[in-house]
Chains A and B, each alone.
Chain A
């Protein structure tokens, strides 16, 4: 296939537009309303070209090249038309380049210059439209809008939020929310994709207004510190402050330019006035600022004292999913080598450890099997217990996009009507806590209807007969009884999942935060193994971690029984390797979990918490408070005075992600760089520096000049990270396993074999059991918790973002309209919610997105300690508490 452009004969692939062919061959055609990620609409007419035998000029951006086509891109006719078009665009509104945030980063400005337009022949409109800047995030100045429609298209096509659209006709055409509503009123999610897409200055960052222009800022690419997706972002920095945030539009990122409100506008927490800038020492119940020497010496003294008095195992450390890999590595190294104990754990204990346990026993490894963009390759995706669009907004949006514009079919299983359920082909709404039952029911149908993958089951699995036997009990009828899901839906869902060429399972904490969370995950693993949906692109069992480095902290060995890279401490060979590397004798005695540190009152006397906040995330907070108060000495290292920090004896001020170098490993095993963009705020220091300093003072020298060196050490000791180095990470992330320098990383796991003893996948059939606490007469409601779009990490960052607080100011109790009627409460009314363990007061939001009899709350407001209600019964294997279900009573206040 060949076309001729300006006399040059060019090859092209069918489907390519004239513009694409020209661009590929370095032939310049100006564009305005064009953006690769959305459908071309040919609206602006800037890209017109002359095509032989065509009656009119042709928009090159949306016209497919045809064999033998003869195109001219710069004839007089074309140039004249373009120039007039640009003149018309300029004179559509009021463009003041003087103070425009898009100055020098403006397609219209470039076009005006290219066309040599001193002054358009048309007058500016007489009227000025008012600038909309009521919210603290987006400024909409429609005086600068050129109606390219890119904001509309990214909102509709990429983010699938459908907040923006055209309205009005002809010269009164405009873009924005319907009925002239403000963005807030229209339910905008403030992903800010529209700002990023806007080619002119019509949409801009309010936070960055007058904060620095494109050529004055330093642009730093780094990894978003919020959720587990690990979006690549570009920070625009000036005078030590983050001014604007853009999504990085590279193909080798998970987000490809898209980010969510937390990243776009929620990074202002870095500059929060509430940031800790000096170490604090508690004296007589009150914190006083202290010098680093004072504070660290006090820590050293106390740790030494406890170690001496009670032995090493009276000390414990809780790491954080928020720290970098390097810091997590150093932390567990510090605990193990310097404090001499394996009492090291991290916050995942309260959320995703069941995944690690279940996936490990089934496949031989506890990580998400595929990548975040697996949805692009899947035919069917089953999403269970996961508020996908709020948890992982960018991938949630991608999923909505694929449903709306592609062929992806979704099965959503959730008692709550989460947004992604609106896009489901089937939405199963089970009684809360009955996951094993519906999963078994699906397998029952799949086996009965002979829809399972015989070949896969035979060649790559073990214990099929056990599974077959167990699930035979779970007839659709019985499952309907347990779950409340109509049996027809079970059957339909089973067929849909089993018949898909590539089916994937994505799940969240709705599955894991149960006393049988591990079995829940096993049930999903069984489903995948049964249908052969493991070891291929677009399939797998995919645990979606809520935290930016939940995967990395586990990889780095912040878990009692394992060294970094999942190497068991019980293996003498491993032990020896680390002893040699670290130059100390290491304990082979199993350590205790976070649950055994803070829930079950035990032997821990001294606790070192980095970034964790069990005083908010843990269950039955009244109990945790008692346990912590009983300890001898607690040191908390954090950016803010978290609830846990408040009960500490010493608080060490830590840096934010923006103030340090390092790496995060996203929930899909992708290791990406965190780059220092600003200097530490106040006297705060990066965690790795604090740990090194502390270790040195404790007598174990750890001297690193840069996290790069720590990564080199990790690579040398951790096989899956063996090929990782900062040099390689410069060009994008690496997905482990990446055992050596030449290994490209691994997109999905278990392609040919599993990492089990036999190399096969193991079925772990599980029976349904009821939750620990069910509603009764005294406590008639099921209480469940979760997160919303704006907050996560217990709100420890996000509650310090003015923008995010503006959008989501407080926790609300979501309640079904029927229950609200029964309780005689209206939207916004305050109620008292009590469980056997405590009570809270909270305002009500009535919504049928929660089923009757169930109430739901987020857990971010420090004013409302939601977790005083939850139960601390643990999953026997993973030691994860059943945070998702407890029984409560509700009274109007």
Chain B
């Protein structure tokens, strides 16, 4: 055998071939020949290497260097630098997602490093079309051992001892199945291989067949010997041409070597293996349907009993195992059942291969020991969610499986545990879904698949799935109605219980599991006519508008910016949002998160365009509204929720008075958000517009102090509570009550009231939200020498907006991750320092993030002068008398009904953070609208009046102008103040778009609101 200095292994799996590995292989060979080093370097095409996301991939041995996304153009460099000069090409290496650090060696890449390979042990290493390479890695030793040293019963005993369960999905113990077939009477028996992999998103069987076909043949030979079969069929779908080709090559080679056919290895045992190509019907993965298909009949399942082990193919005893199960067998025979049983957990032995796909960074094939938590596969091996989005659910087991939500990330990959979660192991399809996935739509998708693929034989499988799909389609088309969820549950239960075959019995799983974990999404579709993930397009014109809590007509005002009609655009803004100037600066942009442009390059800069409009357009005129109604309304709190409610109620003709404790109106907009983000004149103007309607704001009037609750109740017909959440939560650690510890909201309020706060030299801020960042940056501006944010998780887990974090870092704020305070150290009534502990991330919590826990002995102390807890805040509800019968829980007002705004006290409403807990300005505005609407309906309902009808609005034509072609182009960047000019002052950091940038940015809009006729 010829020895080469270098082996260049290039992946020849279907995925890498699709991304161009064939051309790369040819280029490598060509370049090696051109350089005259054919005696030194050899190119080997292997089967799937598993890391399909990065294809084409190559690994160069003996170094074990891994290159990804290799193109034909990279080839000369690889040969020149790596092969000839011995200098690995860094730019082609895999990079650690967090640090962007290149990882030179394949074994250090987490995707590979955390796997345990049995089934896939030869992947990416051998040439699948060379039997010698298989044999060189212990191939056919299992057959040799079984046929020459063991009786069939001993083989079965070993398989039983290994505890291996069918990897096709049902998890039936393979050894037991073999025993039944062995015991069955009959001189003709069949050993069958199920390679009819049909789950969308599952490709492990194909990959095994492509990468290591002999392993499957070996498993079949051992199985056939064990049960006494002399004929074997591999039922492989015709859509797998490469797998079929490699199987054919492998069968021919094995025959050549006397490993198949008559008298295998001189043992006297005969076996013939044929490939049967299936036409790709999903139901043919069902064993009785598969056998019918081999018999040449329509692939329809039949009831069992009789079980195939007794009456299978052509009514003869038959065993059907899937590819993965069979590929395990040679290892079990070779290394013993005990060895195999030592891998995995209590109930489930060995490893399981998963096809990891969907919104995960490292799409590919992974093999892990049974019992590995799902979260580990997704986040460690899979590298987490693409684009920094949030994990929503994982669909396990294909269309017959179920969705596992964040709270199930700790579920071990174990047949029973997964079933408990409402999913199934199935053949190991693992589809990861991020926050942009609509779970109803997902259920609909899988149900559509199942009903399409139902064979049509049994009523429940055929009609039941059809009806479920019909209901789901209705819900997704905004035609959902009360009772739909219950009918779905009814159908699902009946189908699960009564359908003929596995396909039918499992078809309801996706629906049941999504209802179980995401019932609120179903309800949002049916009752609120909303698709929270902005996927079901029947609910909206555009996803941005749908995602916006106040449903601002984003495409319209962007189109008007493009057309240069800024004044009209301003009018559009004001129709839904009384604070567009504020939102243009501080909105976290739920809209941009769903922006379709984001799928191409970056989402639209929606907020910045909004700000551009308010900066440059002329403000629409506001006329006072006449009071036409008798009812007098009191609103407590002049934040975004209170003022919005006030505006809406005033427009409806109510007399509205707003009570504000602080000296100026604006609530958190004024006393929470620092001025460098939101200049006060912007706020004043927008509040002015509300006042201009006739709304009266009584400042410096604290309810419960300046006016009693009872008086308020007696004077006004109705009350809307919109007091916000102005009370910081405590850290609940020793030393918290000491002077120098100040809550973030209290700190920001004081600063915004113009009070002088001496924060000392070193400030420690606890938390990771926007308040923490605001407090940090404000501290710096207040003269702190050093500001350190202590956060107990990692940056990716921080709730604060990324731009804010970046700005803070720019300005010199330190952020310590995985750190939590344990004690505030005082000396002489003053803070001396803060004792912290390092944190380690453990299991996943309900939010889908790993739960931090203290590392013992990791204590350290920071010398600080001020500690600002910014972990969360609640409403100060002390003004509500106990006999008011208003229910308050965890610093929040309880509301009545789904998405309601009325408190538990009749006729008293609540809006904003006081009800929802700390949220955003735009959500508070939305709540304000809602409270006003609800209150108005409440009043009209009591009076038997017809519902309110808004006066007709001025008609504004929205131009429809799009570019013929769309080119990738990043979002227009925001001109801002250099860091040097920000220091020590509260000047607005962001300067606003120029006309040119705004126009260019507006042109990026894809106008997905357009209805195509």
Contacts and interface: CB of A to CB of B under 8 A. Distances in A.
B500 A170 contact: no
B302 interface: yes
A77 B465 contact: no
B459 A88 contact: yes
A58 to B, nearest CB: 9
A41 B451 contact: no
A166 to B, nearest CB: 6
B516 interface: no
B235 to A, nearest CB: 18
Interface stretch (B267-275, B491-499, B747-755, B869-877): B491-499
A169 B500 contact: no
A169 B453 contact: yes
Contact of B499 (A45, A91, A122, A149): A45
A861 B465 CA distance: 54
Contacts of A169: 281, 452-456
Contacts, number: 101
Interface in B432-458: 451-458
A864 interface: no
A45 B498 contact: yes
Contacts of B453: 169-170
Interface in A157-184: 165-166, 168-173
Contacts of A80: 494
A166 B451 CA distance: 16
A42 B499 contact: no
B454 to A, nearest CB: 4
Contacts of A85: 459-460, 494, 498
A577 interface: no
A771 interface: no
Contacts of A149: 457
A63 interface: yes
State the main secondary structure of chain A at its contact with B: loop
B460 A45 contact: yes
Nearest to B471: A122
Nearest to A89: B459
Given A62-B303, A88-B459, A170 B498 contact: no
A92 interface: yes
A41 B494 contact: no
Given A45-B459, A169-B452, A170-B454, A84 B497 contact: no
Contact of A48 (B454, B457, B498): B498
A162 to B, nearest CB: 11
Contact of B498 (A41, A57, A146, A165): A57
Contacts of A77: 497
B463 interface: yes
Given A45-B460, A63-B305, A81 B498 contact: yes
A642 B305 CA distance: 59
B498 A44 contact: no
A827 B464 CA distance: 50
Contact of A42 (B281, B455, B496, B500): B500
State the main secondary structure of chain B at its contact with A: helix
Interface string A681-704: 000000000000000000000000
Contacts of A486: none
Contact of A173 (B281, B456, B487, B499): B456
Interface in A3-54: 40-46, 48
A84 B490 contact: yes
B466 interface: yes
Nearest to B448: A170
B34 to A, nearest CB: 53
B132 to A, nearest CB: 44
Contacts of B462: 147, 170-171, 173
A121 interface: yes
A644 to B, nearest CB: 52
B456 A57 contact: no
A405 to B, nearest CB: 11
Interface in B456-484: 456-460, 462-467, 470
A147 B505 CA distance: 19
Nearest to B501: A42
B298 interface: yes
B416 to A, nearest CB: 14
A44 B459 contact: yes
Nearest to B504: A45
Contacts of B491: 84
A589 to B, nearest CB: 66
A465 interface: no
B158 to A, nearest CB: 29
A43 B298 CA distance: 15
A42 B300 CA distance: 12
B458 to A, nearest CB: 5
A64 interface: yes
A59 interface: yes
Contact of A170 (B298, B466, B496, B497): B466
A568 B639 CA distance: 124
- The residue in B457, B487, B490 that gathers the most chain A C-beta atoms within 10 A of its C-beta is B457
B463 A88 contact: yes
Nearest to A85: B459
A40 B303 CA distance: 9
B303 A63 contact: yes
Contacts of A705: none
A166 B497 CA distance: 25
A373 to B, nearest CB: 25
B451 A121 contact: no
Interface in A53-92: 56-57, 59, 62-64, 77, 80-81, 84-85, 88-89, 91-92
A42 B454 contact: no
B291 to A, nearest CB: 15
B419 to A, nearest CB: 12
B468 to A, nearest CB: 10
B81 to A, nearest CB: 54
A147 B498 CA distance: 17
Given A43-B500, A169-B281, A170-B465, A81 B456 contact: no
A80 B491 CA distance: 10
- The residue in A77, A84, A165, A173 that gathers the most chain B C-beta atoms within 10 A of its C-beta is A84
- The residue in B452, B462, B491 that gathers the most chain A C-beta atoms within 10 A of its C-beta is B462
A122 B500 contact: no
A384 B455 CA distance: 43
A24 B417 CA distance: 44
A57 B457 CA distance: 17
Contacts of A43: 457-459, 500
A783 B497 CA distance: 65
Nearest to A84: B494
Nearest to B467: A122
Contacts of B500: 42-43, 45, 59
A89 B452 CA distance: 18
A44 B460 CA distance: 8
Given A45-B499, A170-B465, A121 B458 contact: no
Given A45-B458, A149-B457, A170-B454, A89 B494 contact: no
Contacts of A173: 455-457, 462
Contacts of A166: 298, 300, 456-457
A92 B458 CA distance: 13
Contact of A56 (B305, B452, B487, B497): B497
A889 B960 CA distance: 84
Contacts of B464: 84, 88
A352 B456 CA distance: 51
B454 A88 contact: no
Contacts of B465: 170-171
- The residue in B460, B494, B496, B505 that gathers the most chain A C-beta atoms within 10 A of its C-beta is B494
Given A43-B500, A63-B303, A88-B467, A121 B457 contact: no
Nearest to B451: A170
Contact of B303 (A41, A89, A92, A172): A41
8 contacts: A41-B302, A41-B303, A166-B300, A169-B452, A170-B466, A171-B451, A171-B462, A171-B465
Please give me the 4 A-B residue pairs with the lowest Cβ-Cβ distance, nearest first.
A173-B456, A88-B463, A42-B303, A170-B454
